[in-house]
Amino acid sequence: HSKEQGRNTYNFYTQKMNEDVARRLLIEEQLRAALEKNEFQVYFQPVVDLKRREVIGAEALLRWNNDVLGPVAPDEFIPIAEQTGLIVAIGRYVLEQAVTVAAGWRNEFLPSFRVAVNISPRQFRDVSLVTFIRELLERFDFPASGVELEITEGVLMTGHAMVDVALLDLSNMGVGISMDDFGTGYSSLSYLRSYPFDTLKVDKSFINDITLDQADLQLVSAAIAMGQGLGLKVIAEGVETEEQYQLLLEQQCDYAQGYLFGRPVPADEFEKMLMTGSKQLH
């Protein structure tokens, strides 16, 4: 009986594994043609000044709607784009879209508008990343300080000297550098000391329970104090409720992002919000 069970378990796992491998391969195959087929869309989620409750900028978040697979979440396709190197071209597309759209918004609605773009480790192995960004900014006469590049400690863990050089070049240009998902990694603290960060984004897993869990609130409070003590601006990610907002206000957090203020939406929808002046939220 147990032998039978063992075999079934084995079959179950191999079947599951085969399905995972098949889906991965399909995603990879579809991803290769996705740029040409124009299947990507860059969404924008508001970043809000906590005290004034006003939009100061947005994070660009990539969306993919494939004709075979339907919508695929970034948490599923970004790692595959990363492993295959496709993220280099896709990442350039995101940067270009983000700066194009943000340049228009700076001119029309909000001269100080800042746009944040996520950059994967693999993109730093592209020798022309810095040149690409410099030329992109020149093309739109977009100030470097209007762009924030979000990296996770995964970028720094690669240990490539190229990453250090690129980050320093970008930082010297005036481009902002954010540490994304702060607190979820192993060595965020030591990296904060060694790299030219301007902004610290406290991961949403810490924000989730601040109204219920005293320990989480203490951690967030400490992260805010530490970030600000190092001269960084602090953004709270994943703010969903008014109660969380109030606590973060008490903790003097600088900025916030989350469903309470707005979900990621297509550029035209974001623009409507800026246009109707509802950049003053709630």
- Alpha-carbon span 56 to 145, nearest angstrom: 13
User: Per rule CB under 6 A, is residue 115 in the interface with ligand C2E?
Assistant: no
Using alpha carbons, list the distances in angstroms from residue 221 to 93, 183, 189, 216, 252: 36, 12, 15, 8, 9
- Binding positions for Mg ion, 197-236, rule CB under 5 A: none
What's the first-to-final CA gap in the chain, in angstroms?
63
Measured from the CB atom, the residue of 3 and 41 that comes closer to ligand C2E is 41
Candidates 3-11, 48-56, 91-99, 146-154: pick the segment binding Mg ion (CB under 5 A).
146-154
Binds 75, which of Mg ion, ligand C2E, none (CB < 5 to 8 A, cut-off by type)? ligand C2E
Binds 121, which of Mg ion, ligand C2E, none (CB < 5 to 8 A, cut-off by type)? none
Q: Find the shortest distance in angstroms from Cβ 183 to ligand C2E.
A: 12
CA 225 to chain centre: 22
Measured from the CB atom, the residue of 124 and 195 that comes closer to ligand C2E is 124
| Binding residue for ligand C2E, selected from 259, 266, 272, 275, defined by CB under 6 A | 259
Binds 240, which of Mg ion, ligand C2E, none (CB < 5 to 8 A, cut-off by type)? ligand C2E
Candidates 4-12, 235-243, 247-255, 271-279: pick the segment binding ligand C2E (CB under 6 A).
235-243
- Alpha-carbon span 208 to 281, nearest angstrom: 21
Q: Find the shortest distance in angstroms from Cβ 223 to ligand C2E.
A: 15
Tokens 């610290």 correspond to 200
- Alpha-carbon span 167 to 172, nearest angstrom: 8
User: Per rule CB under 6 A, is residue 71 in the interface with ligand C2E?
Assistant: no
* Residue 253 and residue 236 in contact, taking contact as beta carbons nearer than 8 Å: yes
Supply the DSSP symbol for 34: H
- Alpha-carbon span 133 to 96, nearest angstrom: 9
| Binding residue for ligand C2E, selected from 179, 253, 264, 273, defined by CB under 6 A | 264
| Binding residue for Mg ion, selected from 150, 170, 255, 270, defined by CB under 5 A | 150
- Binding positions for Mg ion, 170-199, rule CB under 5 A: 180-181
Residue 108 structure tokens: 């029309």
Query: How many of the chain's residues bind ligand C2E (CB under 6 A)?
Result: 23
3 state DSSP class of 95? helix
User: Per rule CB under 6 A, is residue 180 in the interface with ligand C2E?
Assistant: yes
* Residue 120 and residue 109 in contact, taking contact as beta carbons nearer than 8 Å: no
3 state DSSP class of 245? helix
- The Cα diameter of the chain in Å comes to 73
Q: Find the shortest distance in angstroms from Cβ 210 to ligand C2E.
A: 13
Nearest residue to 250 via CA among 213, 210, 278: 210
Question: Where does this chain bind ligand C2E (CB under 6 A)?
Answer: 45, 61-62, 73-75, 78, 91, 94, 118-120, 150, 180-181, 204, 238-240, 257-259, 264
The binding site for Mg ion (CB under 5 A) comprises 118, 150, 180-181, 237
